[in-house]
Chains A and B, each alone.
Chain A
Amino acid sequence: MGRKLLIHNDKVPGIHTLEVYRAHGGYASVEKALKTMTPDQVTDEVKKSGLRGRGGAGFPTGLKWSFLAKPEGVPRYLVCNADESEPGTFKDRYLMEHIPHALIEGMITSSYALGAKKSYIYIRGEYFYVARIVENAIKEAYAAGWLGQNILGTNFSHDCYVQVGGGAYICGEETALLESLEGKRGNPRIKPPFPAVAGLWGCPTVVNNVETIAAVCPIINMGGDEYAKIGIGKSTGTKLISASGHINKPGVYEIELGIPVEEFIYSEEYCGGIRNGKKLKAVVAGGSSVPILPTELILKTAKGEPRLMTYESLSDGGFQTGTMLGSGGFIAMDEDTSIVKNLFTFTRFYHHESCGQCSPCREGTGWMEKILKKFLNGTATESDVELLWDIQSKIEGKTICPLGEAAAWPVAAAIRHFKQEFLDIARSKKFVDVSHYNRLNKIIA
């Protein structure tokens, strides 16, 4: 059994309440930080831990914190990105729903390090019921003195608020999130300036993912060095993986970074193998935007080494033969799955979610969706494969925010690894959805 630091208590009855959470060691990091450490010492521990942003980008959290501008007399903010919308990802929802105080504890400890008197948790609107759970936990925390004036009798005071969104994937991009938090359309800002200098209402702001903030608690409790001992190389600590698709046991798993991908898919501790005795065909390992890999490349790198669940191992080989850990949205597909159809659902998603600011993304995602539709209704030609490739290559790197890349990469990877499937449809003028009957059986049952 791997070590768990974030959701080890998720099955404890009543763990969503302050009383039970506290009885299981909750809020220890706040006590330790506020009573025995300076804010800079807290930041140092986070730096030492090697913690990297768990939302998808994997940027070192301690370094991000150290960029925060601290001009005199200007308020600073911590904003939690709980706009979890990357297809295949549902770990933040799980954490907030089951152990909301883990996030609030992390918000307080992190805000102390950053010198933020106010923080906001921006939760995607569709998770309204989750926002209720977090709000109730915040009320409990205020009543017990963990939030508010002079926490634990120290000079540190802090207020934490929840804001719900209105339904837009793009608000997971940190500057779009800030726009949305200011009551505007979620159009990403041009950087620089970065939020660390000019973020919420123009003030210095740190935006961190839910899991990142929750991970600060065990880091402070155990010490950054101890945390860094878990994992391999620059992939330290534990990571929540959202597992879905054609596996026997979909759900959220906390893994120690560094376990083999094969173990994650086939062991009973995690996914429990592929459903209905089918063979694995492909995996999207880190949310919809990372390149899809066929079985042989997800289980082993091009060099023939076992592929591990780390930032480095998953990206080994670059995009030619590798992928990314991303948000940890792990979607497994069995041998009957149409890669073309799955790609269509991704591309439709990105077309729907493009904010419309940049033409390559606004128009390109729509063109790609239209062409993929031709494959599904049997009217595509071989040249459409080239056209798809051409369009995706002209989106990447030409947009304000990474939604452009996020839309282009899955298309590129599907063609790179499964070109024959596209060509077969184009040549036969027929799309056959083999897996349809498997799906039907599940929902009729």
Chain B
Amino acid sequence: MGSQVHGTQDFNKNKRAEIKFSDEAMSIVKGIISHYPEGKQKSALLPVLHVAQAEFGGWLSPEVMDYVAEVLKIKPIEVFEVASFYTMYNLKPVGKCVLEVCQTSSCWLNGAEDIVKYIEKKLNIKVGETSKDGMFTLKTAECLGSCGTAPMLQCGASYHENLTYAKVDSILETYKAEGKLRSYTDLDYKNTL
């Protein structure tokens, strides 16, 4: 149908054919679409992309974006232009746990830079890179609204606040032991660490 996502060269038709929401994910997607008037299903795009990212390995491949376009009955380019605008959508593969360390003013005033350096050293990666075992991707983020509990990092739906080196150690150890993909849509967001 010539529905390749604009601007990407590595669209794989075979991979595309395998992509399909699970029944559970599909019912969530249908629920989201029902929030909007008839014919305005495009409004569901941002939340549906979050569901897709959680469902298909933590990132949005061209094939996944193409599939989302089909589900929402919109053009693939409409999905790509949105996915590439917002920071929460990963357009490249990432580790199972994406660590996003806030670095804006209040977090900087409380040591965010040293937290970033500490994680870099501990995981032996730089900001933007993924650890060799595919477990962690380290990112910096702009203000996440946790200024009163700075410094902080977000991983999936969880906010980890008032960070210290010891706290970072325990977060990394716990996540590594769990070994599972952490998504923004996770239900176990309660910050217990």
Contacts and interface: CB of A to CB of B under 8 A. Distances in A.
Contacts of A161: 35
B109 interface: yes
B109 to A, nearest CB: 5
A346 B190 CA distance: 30
A183 B145 contact: no
A126 B189 CA distance: 12
Contacts of A125: 46, 50, 86, 88, 184
A166 B87 contact: yes
A78 B160 CA distance: 33
Contacts of A75: 37
B111 interface: yes
A36 B164 CA distance: 54
Interface in A321-361: 329, 331, 333, 337, 341-342, 345-346, 348-349, 352-353, 355
A149 interface: no
B65 interface: no
B105 interface: yes
B21 interface: no
Given A125-B184, A331-B106, A169 B142 contact: yes
Interface string B26-57: 00000000010100101111110110000000
Nearest to B149: A250
Interface in B161-193: 163-165, 184-185, 187, 189-190
B148 A251 contact: yes
B164 A180 contact: no
B86 A349 contact: no
Contacts of A124: 145
Nearest to A201: B40
B154 interface: yes
A285 to B, nearest CB: 13
A94 B185 CA distance: 20
Nearest to A171: B86
| A interface, over-half SS | mixed
Interface stretch (A19-27, A57-65, A237-245): A237-245
Interface residues of A, number: 63
A137 to B, nearest CB: 15
B50 A346 contact: no
A143 interface: no
Given A129-B157, A161-B35, A244 B46 contact: no
Contacts of A163: 35, 43, 46-47
A183 B109 contact: no
A177 to B, nearest CB: 11
B153 to A, nearest CB: 11
A331 B163 contact: no
Nearest to B150: A244
A245 B109 contact: yes
Nearest to A182: B43
A284 interface: yes
Contact of B82 (A164, A183, A331, A345): A183
Contacts of A215: none
A183 B46 contact: yes
A353 B86 CA distance: 10
Nearest to A170: B85
B145 A93 contact: yes
Interface string A137-178: 000000000000000000000000101111111000000000
B148 A165 contact: no
Contacts of B154: 126
Contacts of B70: none
A191 interface: no
Given A166-B86, A186-B85, A440-B114, A87 B143 contact: yes
A355 B84 CA distance: 12
A128 interface: yes
Contacts of A250: 147-150
A127 interface: yes
Nearest to A249: B148
Interface string A271-283: 0000000000000
Contacts of B85: 166, 168, 185-186, 355
Nearest to B107: A345
A284 B106 CA distance: 11
Given A90-B147, A163-B46, A182-B43, A439 B88 contact: no
A157 to B, nearest CB: 15
Interface string B95-117: 00000000111101111011100
7 contacts: A87-B147, A90-B147, A126-B88, A163-B43, A439-B110, A440-B111, A444-B164
Given A84-B145, A128-B50, A348-B103, 17 more contacts: A75-B37, A87-B106, A126-B144, A163-B35, A166-B49, A167-B86, A182-B40, A183-B72, A201-B37, A243-B148, A245-B105, A250-B147, A250-B150, A252-B148, A439-B110, A440-B111, A443-B115
Interface of B: 35, 37, 40, 42-47, 49-50, 72, 74, 78, 81-82, 85-89, 103-106, 108-111, 113-115, 141-151, 154, 157-159, 163-165, 184-185, 187, 189-190
Interface of A: 75, 84-90, 93, 120, 124-129, 132, 161, 163-169, 180-186, 201, 242-246, 250-252, 284, 288, 329, 331, 333, 337, 341-342, 345-346, 348-349, 352-353, 355, 435, 439-440, 442-445
Which 7 A-B pairs rank lowest in CB-CB distance, beginning with the nearest?
Answer: A166-B86, A183-B45, A129-B189, A167-B88, A244-B147, A167-B87, A439-B111
